[in-house]
Amino acid sequence: MLLNTRYDQNNYPIIVEKGAIEQLEKALSHYQHVFILIDQHVAQQWPFLKNKWNHAVLIEIPAGEQVKHLNYYETFMNQILEYHPTRNTCLVAIGGGATGDFVGFMAATLLRGVDFIQVPTTLLAHDSSVGGKVGINAPKGKNLIGAFHRPKTVLYDLDFLQTLPKTEILSGYAEVYKHALLTNHKAVTQLETQYPTAEHLYTLQNIEVFIVSGIETKLNIVLADEKEHGQRKFLNLGHTFGHAIESQHQLAHGHAVMIGILFQYIVANLVLNARFQPHTFYQYLKDLQYPLTVIEAFDFDQLYTRMLSDKKNDATGIQMVLLQQIGQPKVMHVSQYILKEAFQQLLQLHNEVK
Amino acid sequence: MLLNTRYDQNNYPIIVEKGAIEQLEKALSHYQHVFILIDQHVAQQWPFLKNKWNHAVLIEIPAGEQVKHLNYYETFMNQILEYHPTRNTCLVAIGGGATGDFVGFMAATLLRGVDFIQVPTTLLAHDSSVGGKVGINAPKGKNLIGAFHRPKTVLYDLDFLQTLPKTEILSGYAEVYKHALLTNHKAVTQLETQYPTAEHLYTLQNIEVFIVSGIETKLNIVLADEKEHGQRKFLNLGHTFGHAIESQHQLAHGHAVMIGILFQYIVANLVLNARFQPHTFYQYLKDLQYPLTVIEAFDFDQLYTRMLSDKKNDATGIQMVLLQQIGQPKVMHVSQYILKEAFQQLLQLHNEVK
């Protein structure tokens, strides 16, 4: 399946299919220097990748989120600079969303910008294949250092999904689910029907359909934001609370986002008179085997401080994306009072249903 | 004097006059967070700056080029992130070209990009007020890590030039002279007539005229490059050899560029049958009291290796900007053989004239 971005310029293809990685060699043929940065776990699981490209330098990088650190940035930038690259250079990121963020930020800032190609290997990474956001983490929070830098091509090879650990499937599913929530009721129902329980989800049956529609949803929102109506913030659904618990409790991104979505339902009920059923959603998360006992360790003051660091806040304070209904997101300031009330309700819900 | 950039979009004013810094407060009034990063030497020489802006956070940073290092980048990014800035943030750079490069790179990558305002305090910094290039250095060379990020405003306050040390005047004059070389004979003659010796140059009489025409020249070249004719490389005149000796021998930027221009005359005579008089130019550099004894320490192999790291090289090897005549630059591949021959002639010239 071939998708194309629809920006005013600098568009790129997103190819979603089994064996997509075979197209990499051709895409790289006109570059003078090629550096392939590959997530260590992916390199271990797919050893054929190591000797696949002759004229490229292959660099294994630490797996997952941990690589998004200035120390690694310095190490790998300097390693690449040893080869005296010119601007006619391409960096390739083979790995999950974190790998793409990290390598994309390197590409954005190497010699003031070189090309990069993304080869996502996780379900979660479908999310970062659109939008051009790249970056690394800082002690104060995730992605606080970064840039906007679009890839030249995204080769989304579905074969990689075969070896995903269950925790990665759950993590990626959160963004798939979020994109459905931002679309409409039908999209959500389709997902819940296809994947009512963990056993169904782990088969990843028909997942390419949902990946493609997730990418389409995100693309539409990102394009609308190019016209500066601010819709891009909608993609932050579940992320205000999600990022806070993710960094405070070292959760997998999507696990945190799912709890963030749950929290958002409670807030939306409080401030928008929405009629979501947090209990039902909590039960769905349990059926999918998301780890939820961590909720018992949450501390409001700690998490509130972290929420204050969100880039998307403005002068009035914490901004959250809230659903009025499914498919109808809204960005709103939410007071500390409401956040605390919603937090108490979350703890109570957990104690009742767990 | 007010100049305006003439890009397709994102234009900004460049204000060149005494007391221009008084306009900073107004320019900052609509930002939620303001961080003023000021070169330590400038802060010492102009103590009134320290308590001038009430709602801004003032941060003193190491003086000059040394600050353009990833360690300092990490330190000051984290210091700023402690304040939980939102995207409605402006960074202000008060200092020379290096300060602007460093703070500009911070602004380009803080929260994926915030605004910045440049307040250049040196003669050299007139050069970096146009072009949007920001960046830091790496062990392998200068500005190898960076971005393109235009300031919102440049406030070039000529009062700062009063306290410039002589070595800074010489360093900045190199770029003024380079811009004249890229313009025409008349521009060069005007400069040499105004400043025939070091004593004349140190008065900086009429310097604003030359600053403004230098900015105009650079602006025209940068704009032409937006249409992708590659003219922007012309600004690299004197910089291929210049950057190599600058980093190898820790020279002030402009001192290195002036010797780079001299070297370029020799190469142009060799490969373009140009008829420059390197002896005459060497004498002018002596009259201006540029330090030239460092030439005796030059080693071709060391410098050749450094020239190979230049970002502007391509697959064919080292690219140099050469003048066919004054005002007629050309980008050319130059072979190792020619570079070595020119290098010998440079040493010989130095031994004859010194």
The helix/strand/coil state of B135 is strand
Q: Cα Rg for chain A, rounded, in angstroms?
A: 20
What's the gap in Å between the CA of B41 and the closest CA on chain A?
28
Whether the Cβ atoms of residue B166 and residue B97 lie closer than 8 Å to each other: no
A232 tagged catalytic: yes
Please report, for chain B, how many H helices and E strands are present, in that order.
Answer: 14, 11
Least confident range from A30-39, A71-80, B307-316, B332-341: namely B307-316
Task: Look up the ipTM and state it.
Answer: 0.87
Residues of chain A in contact with residue B108, where contact means CB-CB under 8 angstroms, are 147
> For residue A148, what is the nearest residue in chain B, using CA coordinates?
B112
- Position B118 scores a pLDDT of 97
Residue B313 has pLDDT above 80, yes or no: no
- Angle at alpha carbon of residue B313, lines to B170 and B347, rounded to 5°: 50
Q: Using alpha carbons, select from A343, A143, A109 the residue that is nearest to residue A236.
A: A143
Residue B39 has pLDDT above 70, yes or no: yes
Q: Using alpha carbons, select from B117, B155, B124, B118 the residue that is nearest to residue B15.
A: B155
pLDDT digits (tens, 9 = 90+) for B234-283: 999 999 999 999 989 999 999 999 999 999 999 999 999 999 999 999 99
- Position B227 scores a pLDDT of 57
Q: How confident is the model over A304-333, as a mean pLDDT?
A: 87
- Position A227 scores a pLDDT of 57
- Of the residues A239, A255, A306, A350, only one is catalytic, namely A239
Q: What is the CATH number of domain A2-162?
A: 3.40.50.1970
Look at B229 and A179; give whichever has higher pLDDT: A179
- Position B351 scores a pLDDT of 95
- Position B304 scores a pLDDT of 95
Q: What is the mean pLDDT of chain B?
A: 93
The answer to whether A313 contacts chain B (CB < 8 Å) is yes
Confidence of residue A337 (pLDDT cuts 50, 70, 90): very high
> For residue A307, what is the nearest residue in chain B, using CA coordinates?
B84
- Position B296 scores a pLDDT of 96
CB contact under 8 A, A147 and B77: no
pLDDT digits (tens, 9 = 90+) for A239-297: 999 999 998 999 999 999 999 999 999 999 999 999 999 999 999 999 999 999 999 99
For B310, residues 6+ apart whose C-beta sits below 8 A from its C-beta are B141, B240, B243, B318, B319
- Position A226 scores a pLDDT of 62
d(CA B116, CA B137): 20
Cα–Cα distances in angstroms (integers) from residue B25 to residues A194, A341, B310, in the given order: 58, 41, 39
Whether the Cβ atoms of residue A102 and residue A72 lie closer than 8 Å to each other: yes
Q: Over pLDDT 90: what percentage of chain B?
A: 79
pLDDT digits (tens, 9 = 90+) for A28-66: 999 999 999 999 999 999 988 888 888 899 999 999 899
Whether the Cβ atoms of residue A242 and residue A259 lie closer than 8 Å to each other: yes
pLDDT digits (tens, 9 = 90+) for A137-194: 999 888 999 999 999 999 999 999 988 999 999 999 999 999 999 999 999 999 999 9
- Of the residues A243, A255, A306, A350, only one is catalytic, namely A243
Q: How are beta strands B319-325 and B328-333 bridged, if at all?
A: antiparallel
- Position A2 scores a pLDDT of 87
Domain extent listing, chain B: 2-162, 165-353
Q: How are beta strands A13-17 and A2-4 bridged, if at all?
A: antiparallel
CB contact under 8 A, B112 and A70: no
Q: What fold is seen in the domain A165-353?
A: Dehydroquinate synthase-like, alpha domain (1.20.1090)
Residue B16 has pLDDT above 90, yes or no: yes
> For residue A110, what is the nearest residue in chain B, using CA coordinates?
B145
Q: How confident is the model over B117-135, as a mean pLDDT?
A: 91
pLDDT digits (tens, 9 = 90+) for A222-253: 888 765 567 888 999 999 999 999 989 999 99
- Position A183 scores a pLDDT of 93
